[in-house]
């Protein structure tokens, strides 16, 4: 068996995110509360009568219906409810691929698919979003990465860590590359709905290509990471095969989480949650931007189109992991180092946070930048 590839970003976050004074390492906004979801005492009363049964293993019907309604032409048969998008991505790989298969993964990226695929014995190639072109898709690198042996192409749109939203032309190029070799497309779309500059939700790949798993969750755009609810939307036969993997990993999502996620995706509550997320993003970014500008040439950025994260480059001769280790130890604050996306000299910084907390965390990063620059 080949060497285990740890998920280095999640390793660092699990250890420190609840210990530091300022956690600016999350990619979602400040989380919503149970009260935000169920303000009405009658609804609370109903929830209190919930029996802790094993809920329907592929997701309760009401939730699968609400998820299907977000994808034109989809029915509950197209939907599997999972424990977050992280389980959705993991079992997608197990379902669609065999050890030894080759996959092409977008980079930079949340490195779950990249690392898990290696641990499952797959051969991983990457294609780029190019920083010098405002993180636009490098179509030449896509053409090189997708070969006759490619069984799956994996994208994250909007992208973590850059916040890049693919244009329709870029989406077409990805579909064409997968189609050219008959590969599956795995689209991680967790930041759709968390746009900074527009109220138009980033379109899904759903409807553009048949061999597709469109994965998502309530963690980012809905501000509900602790519910641990995600999903796969795909062709019914393959979704059923993914369900068979889900029976090995988690059986079912928690009973209350199924119910609360159904409330979150209801036509009454969903728009409010999306607006709440965009409000955090739109209030936080100007604070972050002013802070960034105050550093002159030391920091530069391609402004993110979506997600509550910025990915600035710093002009200092220090490795990003070393920087963050010092940030934890000396300043009691946490961000994600560029190394965790295989892009050194960058930091991923959350800004979808209450203003005072955000300012406090940015001040700690400023102190360390100044200590190193002096
Ligand atoms: C792109 C991406 N996919 C999936 C996940 C996992 O999310 P979830 O909380 O839905 O499991 C994350 C978390 O940061 C992410 O950034």
Residue-level pLDDT at 39 = 87
For residue 76, tell me if it sits in a domain.
yes
C-alpha 337/C-alpha 135 separation (Å) is 18
For residue 160, how far is its CA from the centre of ligand 1 (angstroms)?
Answer: 9
Both 24 and 59 in a single domain?
A: no
For residue 371, how far is its CA from the centre of ligand 1 (angstroms)?
Answer: 33
According to DSSP, the β-strands at 79-82 and 230-233 are antiparallel
Neighbours of 320 (CB within 10 A): 23
Per-residue pLDDT tens digits for 229-250: 999 999 999 999 999 999 999 9
For residue 292, tell me if it sits in a domain.
yes
Per-chain mean pLDDT for the chain: 97
Q: What is the residue whose two structure tokens read 């896509």? A: 142
For residue 1, tell me if it sits in a domain.
no
Per-residue pLDDT tens digits for 127-145: 999 999 999 999 999 999 9
Whether the pLDDT of residue 1 is over 90: the answer is no
Number of domains in the chain: 2
To test the pocket of ligand 1, the residue of 84, 192, 228, 306 to mutate (highest count of ligand atoms within 8 Å of its CB) is 84
C-alpha 252/C-alpha 7 separation (Å) is 24
Residue-level pLDDT at 310 = 98
Ligand 1 contacts (CB < 6 A) are: 27, 84-86, 110, 156, 160, 188, 190, 217, 219, 225, 230
Residue-level pLDDT at 355 = 98
For residue 370, how far is its CA from the centre of ligand 1 (angstroms)?
Answer: 32
At which of 231, 246, 269 does a domain end?
Answer: 269
Residue 374 — pLDDT band, cuts 50, 70, 90?
confident
Residue-level pLDDT at 159 = 98
At which of 248, 269, 290 does a domain end?
Answer: 269
- Whose C-alpha lies nearest to ligand 1, atom 13? 27
Per-residue pLDDT tens digits for 166-191: 999 999 999 999 999 999 999 999 99
For the ranges 1-5, 87-91, 317-321, which has the lowest average pLDDT? 1-5
Atom of ligand 1 nearest to the CA of 88: 11
Per-residue pLDDT tens digits for 37-77: 998 899 999 999 999 999 999 999 999 999 999 999 999 99
Whether the pLDDT of residue 28 is over 80: the answer is yes
Number of residues in the chain: 374
C-alpha 8/C-alpha 196 separation (Å) is 28
Both 264 and 135 in a single domain?
A: yes
The CATH code of the domain that includes 284 is 3.90.1150.10
Q: What is the average per-residue pLDDT within 20-27?
A: 97
Q: What is the average per-residue pLDDT within 342-370?
A: 98
Q: Domain span at residue 296?
A: 8-33+271-373
Residue-level pLDDT at 149 = 97
Both 25 and 79 in a single domain?
A: no
Whether the pLDDT of residue 346 is over 70: the answer is yes
Both 240 and 280 in a single domain?
A: no
Residue-level pLDDT at 219 = 98
Both 233 and 283 in a single domain?
A: no
Taking the whole predicted model, whether its pTM rises above 0.95 is answered as yes
Both 196 and 328 in a single domain?
A: no
At which of 247, 269, 291 does a domain end?
Answer: 269
For residue 294, how far is its CA from the centre of ligand 1 (angstroms)?
Answer: 31
The CATH code of the domain that includes 255 is 3.40.640.10
Whether the pLDDT of residue 264 is over 60: the answer is yes
Both 261 and 197 in a single domain?
A: yes
């Amino acid at each position: 068996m080949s060497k285990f590839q740890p998920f280095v970003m999640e390793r660092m976050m699990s250890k420190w995110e609840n210990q530091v004074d300022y956690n600016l390492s999350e990619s979602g906004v400040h989380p919503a509360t149970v009260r935000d979801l169920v303000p009405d005492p009658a609804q609370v009363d109903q929830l209190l009568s919930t029996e802790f049964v094993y809920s329907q293993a592929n997701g309760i019907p009401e939730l699968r219906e609400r998820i299907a309604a977000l994808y034109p032409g989809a029915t509950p048969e197209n939907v599997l409810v999972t424990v977050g998008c992280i389980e959705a991505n993991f079992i997608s790989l197990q379902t669609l691929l065999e050890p030894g298969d080759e996959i092409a993964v977008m980079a930079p990226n949340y490195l779950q698919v990249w690392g898990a695929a290696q641990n499952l014995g797959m051969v991983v190639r990457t294609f780029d979003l190019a920083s010098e072109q405002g993180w636009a898709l490098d179509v030449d690198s896509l053409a090189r990465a997708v070969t006759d042996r490619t069984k799956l192409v994996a994208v994250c749109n909007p992208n973590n860590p850059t916040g890049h939203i693919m244009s329709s032309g870029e989406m077409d190029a990805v579909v064409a590359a997968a189609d050219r070799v008959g590969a599956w497309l795995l689209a991680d779309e967790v930041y759709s709905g968390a746009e900074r500059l527009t109220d138009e939700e980033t379109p899904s790949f759903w409807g553009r290509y048949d061999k597709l798993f469109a994965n998502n969750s309530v963690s980012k755009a809905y501000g509900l990471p602790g519910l641990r609810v995600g999903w796969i939307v795909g062709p019914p036969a393959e979704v059923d095969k993914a369900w068979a993997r889900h029976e090995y990993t988690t059986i079912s999502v928690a009973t209350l989480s199924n119910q609360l996620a159904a409330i979150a995706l209801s036509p009454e509550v969903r728009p409010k949650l999306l607006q709440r997320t965009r409000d955090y993003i739109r209030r936080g970014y100007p604070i972050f931007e002013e802070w960034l500008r105050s550093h002159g040439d030391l920091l530069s950025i391609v402004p993110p189109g979506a997600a509550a994260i910025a990915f600035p480059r710093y002009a200092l001769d220090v490795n990003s992991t070393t920087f963050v280790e010092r940030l934890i130890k000396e300043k009691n604050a946490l961000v994600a180092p560029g190394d965790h996306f295989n892009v050194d000299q960058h930091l991923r910084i959350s800004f979808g946070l209450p203003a005072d907390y955000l300012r406090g965390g940015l001040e700690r990063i400023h102190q360390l930048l100044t200590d190193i620059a002096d």
